[in-house]
Structure 1
Amino acid sequence: MIEVDFVLILSEEIFQSQIAHWWSPDGARLAYATINDTLVPRMELPMFTGTPYPTGKEYHYPKAGEENPVITLYVVNLNGPLHTIEMRRPDDPRMGEYYVTMVRWATTTKLAINWLNRAQNISILTLCEATTGVCTKKHEDESEGWLHRQNEKPLFSRDGLKLFFTRAIPQGGRGKFFHISMSISQPNTSTDTLQSITSGDWDVTQVLAYNEDSQLIYFLSTEDGPKRRHLYSADTFGSFNRRCLSCALPDSCDYISGSFSHNMSFFLLNCKGSYDSNESPVHLFCVTCEWY
């Protein structure tokens, strides 16, 4: 359960959502977060209730240097007798106080969790076994400053062995840009292979979908210009060839968003117009058609 006092901070700053429970794909398990703010100092805030004078209400309110709420993740098995397992946080002394910024089911029994230290300069992405609570580190980021885009949810293949996520990668002397990385786990081993699917002095702004049949990954990027957002696909094998799927649309549609149907046969492209336009037509494209 989430303490009411902490809901505002949790939803707006940490999860960026009011949801702190996550159903497994088959509905057999439920992951949920608990927040313990017992040690967090209280602060009185005014409440305006329509009377001439406000009333005061105390909230647990964490400030710099003070105790933070402690977040713990559990998974409960809903088939048969209820059985709850705690997901183990990374055993890394650098983490200290921490946040959980992302939770996502990879398979029906594996859960991806992103842990971020309080200084927000170290993050560890883990894949946790829901039946045991054991979490395996899949990727780690460390920065001299704050890490960004820590709420983004990775994509997985159906068997959970392929993991796609964005990370800031140095591009020569041009600085760091966010690109798609693919982590492949070898069955029955602890060995992972990490490859970069995209590269260049532009950012992947959103990873939309992975088509396991065609082995294509779909994403939005700024490759065509920092004020533009176009839809691209890229091979996840060989030389990782990529192609722009929306660049042929009129110039008035150079800033887009999109979503895919569940079976990956169609995608809905929302044209938000140019960067300074108010137009927003919607296009439906067939992904599996021969011309595409």
Structure 2
Amino acid sequence: MIKRSLVALFLAVGITVSAQSKLSVEEIYMGMFRSKGMDELQAMKNTNQYTVLNTDRGSRSQQIDLYDYATLKKVSTLLDTKNHKELAEGIDSYVFSSDEKQILIANNSNPIYRHSFTADYYLYDLTTKSLRKVLEQVQEPLFSPNGSKIAYVKANNLYVMDVASGNSTAITNDGEKNAIINGITDWVYEEEFAFVRAFDWSADSKKIAFIRFDERQVPEFSMDIYQKALYPTQEKFKYPKAGEKNALVSLHLVDVASNTKKEVNLSQYNDFYIARMRWTNDANVLCAQVLNRHQNNLDLLFIDGTSAAAKVVLNEKDNAYVDVTDNLTFLKDNSFIWTSEKDGWNHIYLYDKTGKLKNQVTKGAWEVTAYYGFDEKTKTIFYQSTENGSIVRDVYRIGLDGKKKMKLSKQVGTNAATFSPNFEFFINTFSSATVPPTYSLNSAKDGVQVQMIVENSALTEKLKKYDLPTKEFFVLTTEKGHQLNAWMIKPKDFDATKKYPVFMYQYSGPGSQQVANDWLDTNDYWFMMLAQQGYITVCVDGRGTGFKGAAFKKCTQKELGKFEVEDQIDAAKVLGTYAYVDKSRIGIFGWSFGGFMASNCLFKGADVFKMAIAVAPVTNWRFYDSIYTERYMQTPQENASGYDDNSPINHVSKLKGSFLLVHGTADDNVHVQNSMQMIEALVQANKQFDWAIYPDKNHGIYGGKTRIQLFNKLTNFIKEKL
């Protein structure tokens, strides 16, 4: 009887194990495991409410729905696309006027680069319930604070449209492709300073400030576009590579009523960047963050809106570089909140309106990772930080005087917040490596959860049949004593007496983070698929990565690819000592900066790594853009050895293992030139390797079946070579 039961139990377990579903590349990259969220979540400013863009798949329509923060109940549907045939293609994004009585809706969006796009725009009046098309294929429209006008850019010129009449007035007329841009950033600003709209309204709606880019002297880059035509066409755009000429930038003030312009005098600067620009609460004071070309000196300027005279109110210097802050917040008296890592960690500071330091609000060996806002009523700042470990994020409140700090988030993982306008509540987004994203309403007073809004229970249920392994987080200590954050994914049926191949994944770029306790991204599912096929995947954040203080992040200055590569090789050596690791079968993979790293690791660590996959890699920083590269390397003219000593092109002769190189021909970011030069170097070194070129694909290499084909190729390469 006992024996029969054991046999029956054994058979049952065997059936369960064998019935576990296997992940496939097709499922992963067709989006089968996407989590639910709150699309286009926006907190209102005048009422204690928020809006979400909902989709009704049955009627193929979208709704901008208004909810009450306190009850989470839907107050109303502000707009339903099924009532407006003009919006049949859907809503791409939307923005409210300051009084929240008008909504500007984008659709028919056409991407330009990573962040930029043109779109058609419709204006919806919430009072009259009327919708009208107001702008066609323009960029970055922005309501004036009083809602009477909309400024926008079309064909590199800045315009102002009167909302009532629909008439537009040209503010500039010298805009020209690959020559002059008004009010929109050039390619390199968009990519590296991460903003597109380079104009702003003053608080009284009377003035506009804008940045003008003169890129006539910037060298031009061209890409062949193949498509299916008999002859390829060519896309040309200005791209300043390291050490080459940047666009000349100038800052201008426009009096909208008279359409008269003044240029801000920045003659004290030479070869500089205007990395941020916006009006303060004082309608006559504009501020700008100006960086020198090395980006190790930042001036915060206050500019008089009448005379256009500029004065420095705050200066930051660093031996390496100064990060631009997006957390600059002006209080009612124009004193301001600022974040800086000047004490070695990113923290919050309070300055008066003249730039005199009043108080360092947060301090400690941890980083402020997001600033959420300031409640004037209670003199309280809300923020996100790494106070409980660099791989997790928590939400806090603290007094403006730095006292009465309280942790508001309750779960261990990654917490982020969207606060109600009166700072009474916040919507907490939480996820961890084992819990998909949840959205809950919480009290801003003590963090207590009031109500759950969105759970991903359906995704959790769907994943049960796959019985996926989990990420194990640990600190890997190299032989040199460097303590590095890491995670490992082992096969679910892991047997410590066996020897497993190890597939290492990393990105490694300055200030980045891949080892974080948050929910799985698409590639994580791929790593778990590999685990189902008997591979261990490991990710290590080496020196140069972020959230462990400025010293750890900036130690790679002027030598990108030296210490980072050393750490990956040293980490692989440590992994090779584990009893369950086959040290003769360790591979490495990376994309972009990670591709640069994977190439270098295979060449420089030829006796450690059996194979590497490099996707869209930089192969010499001489080929990459000025702002990013020079921030960490200065110019090639100043630091030739820093560029060349760690260029994988110069180490191809050391290749012993298997190498797969992948690139898209329409990569406007890391140009295919990088891989072409690497290919030629490998050919002339008489080295055998594999490569794949994706026609007309950009840095992300996607579209149609592309990702599926690509990741099947990567999977097959791993199975064959590792």
Q: Which amino acid aligns with 1:222?
A: T
* 1:39-54 correspondence runs (5 A): 39-51=217-229, 53-54=231-232
Query: What secondary structure sits across from 1:11 in the alignment?
Result: helix
Aligned: 1:179 with 2:347: yes
Q: Root-mean-square deviation (CA), in Å?
A: 2.7
2:363 is the counterpart of 1:199: yes
2:263 aligned with 1:89: no
Closer, same or farther: CA 277–137 of 1 in aligned 2, 3 Å:
farther
Q: Identify the residue that residue 425 of structure 2 maps to in structure 1.
A: 266
Contact kept in structure 2, 1:40 and 1:67, CA below 8 Å: yes
AA of the residue aligned to 1:141: E
CA contact (8 A) 1:128 1:136 kept: yes
Q: Deviations over 1:184-229 (max 9, x none)?
A: 13xxxx5723421111000011111011121111111101111111
Which secondary structure does the structure 2 equivalent of 1:81 belong to?
coil
Q: Give yes or no for the alignment of 1:229 onto 2:406.
A: no
Partner SS state of residue 9, structure 1: helix
Cα 1:28–1:98 shift into 2, 3 Å: same
- Is 1:281 equivalent to 2:449 in the alignment? no
C-alpha distance in 2, partners of 1:132/1:100? 19
Contact 1:38-1:69 within 8 A present in 2 as well: yes
Question: 1:282 is aligned with what amino acid?
Answer: Y
Q: Are positions 1:112 and 2:287 aligned together?
A: yes
Task: State the match for 1:9 in structure 2.
Answer: 188
| Larger-gyration structure (1/2) | 2
CA contact under 8 A between 2:188 and 2:240: conserved in structure 1?
A: no
TM-score, length basis structure 2: 0.35
Given the superposition, is the C-alpha separation of residues 29 and 288 from structure 1 closer, same or farther in structure 2, using an over 3 Å criterion?
A: farther
Gaps of 5+ in 1: 171-175
Letter of the 2:403 partner, please give it.
F
Among the aligned pairs, what percent are the same residue?
A: 23
- Cα distance, 1:123 vs. partner? 1.1
Tell me if the contact between 1:102 and 1:153 (Cα under 8 Å) persists in the aligned partners: no
1:101 partner SS: strand
One-letter amino acid of the counterpart of residue 341, structure 2 = A
168 and 70 in structure 1: CA distance in 2 versus 1, 3 angstrom threshold: same
Structure 1 pair 38/191, CA: closer, same or farther in 2 (3 Å)?
closer
Q: For the residues of structure 2 that align with 1:219 and 1:71, how far apart are their CA atoms?
A: 33
Q: d(CA) in 2 for partners of 1:59 and 1:9?
A: 11
Distance 1:69 1:228 in 2: 39
Q: 1:3, 1:36 within 8 Å by CA — same for their partners in 2?
A: no
Report the CA distance between 1:101 and its aligned residue: 1.3
Amino acid at match of 1:284: L
1:267 maps to a residue whose letter is: F
What residue in structure 1 maps to residue 408 of structure 2? Answer: 245
Distance 1:50 1:103 in 2: 43
Residue 82 (structure 2) aligns with? none
**Quick check: which one's helix share is greater?**
2
Which residue, out of 127, 136, 139, partners 2:314? 139
Shift in Å, 1:77: 2.4
Contact 1:87 1:130 in 2 (8 A): no
Residues 153, 102 of structure 1: alpha-carbon distance in 2 compared, 3 angstrom cutoff = farther
Q: Tell me if the contact between 1:90 and 1:124 (Cα under 8 Å) persists in the aligned partners.
A: no
CA displacement 1:269-291 (0-9 Å, x = unmatched):
222x12x24521112234479x9
Measured at CA, do residues 283 and 191 of structure 1 come closer, stay the same or move farther in structure 2, by a change above 3 Å? Answer: closer
CA–CA distance in 1 between the matches of 2:418 and 2:204? 22
> 3-state DSSP class of the match of 1:145?
coil
Distance across 1 between alignment mates of 2:305 and 2:191: 27
Amino acid across the alignment from 2:322: L
Residue 238 of structure 2 is aligned to residue 60 of structure 1: yes
Give 4+ residue runs of structure 1 displaced > 6 Å after superposition.
none
Deviation for aligned residue 1:261: 2.9
Give the secondary-structure state (helix, strand or coil) at the position aligned to 2:298.
strand
Alignment partners' CA distance in 1, 2:341 and 2:420: 29
User: Cα distance, 1:140 vs. partner?
Assistant: 1.4
Distance in 1 (alpha carbons) for counterparts of 2:376 and 2:199: 27
Distance 2:231 2:318 in 1: 47
Matched, 1:217 2:217: no
Distance (Å, rounded) in 1 between the aligned partners of 2:292 and 2:255: 29
Match of 1:166 among 339, 342, 347: 339
**Counterparts of 1:3 and 1:286, CA distance in 2:** 51
Deviations 1:127-168 (A, max 9, x none): 2222222222222121222323x15240110221x1111111
Equivalent position amino acid for 1:119 in 2: H
In 2, distance between residues paired with 1:47 and 1:34? Answer: 29
Distance 1:278 1:128, change over 3 A: farther
CA distance in 1, matches of 2:266, 2:423: 34
Structure 1 residue 33: deviation in Å? 1.4
Cα deviation for residue 267 of structure 1 reads 2.4
Aligned length: 269
Q: Which has the higher strand share?
A: 1
* Structure-2 change in CA distance of 1:164 and 1:250 (3 Å): same
Whole-angstrom distance in 1 between the partners of 2:234 and 2:218: 18
Partner amino acid for 1:224?
N
CA distance 1:22–1:240, change in 2 (3 Å): same
Superposition deviation, residue 110 in structure 1? 2.0
Find the aligned partners of 2:202 and 2:384 in 1 and give their Cα distance: 27
Please state whether the residue corresponding to 1:169 is helix, strand or coil. coil
Match of 1:124 in 2: 299
SS at match of 1:177: coil
Separation in 1 of the partners of 2:444 and 2:388? Answer: 22
CA shift, 1:102, in A, is: 1.3
Kindly state the Cα deviation for residue 69 of structure 1 after the two structures are TM-superposed.
Answer: 0.3
- For 1:210 and 1:3, how far apart are their aligned partners in 2? 41
Question: Aligned letter for 1:48?
Answer: Y
The more displaced of 219-228 and 254-263 is: 254-263
Give secondary structure in 1 for the equivalent of 2:418.
Answer: strand
Instruction: Answer whether contact 1:102 1:113 (CA < 8 A) is retained.
Output: yes
Q: Is the 8 A contact 2:408 2:444 kept in 1?
A: no
Whole-angstrom distance in 1 between the partners of 2:195 and 2:217: 24
What is the CA distance between 1:264 and its match in structure 2? Answer: 3.3
Displacement of 1:66: 2.3
Kindly indicate whether the alpha-carbon contact (under 8 Å) linking 1:218 and 1:233 is maintained by their aligned counterparts in 2: yes
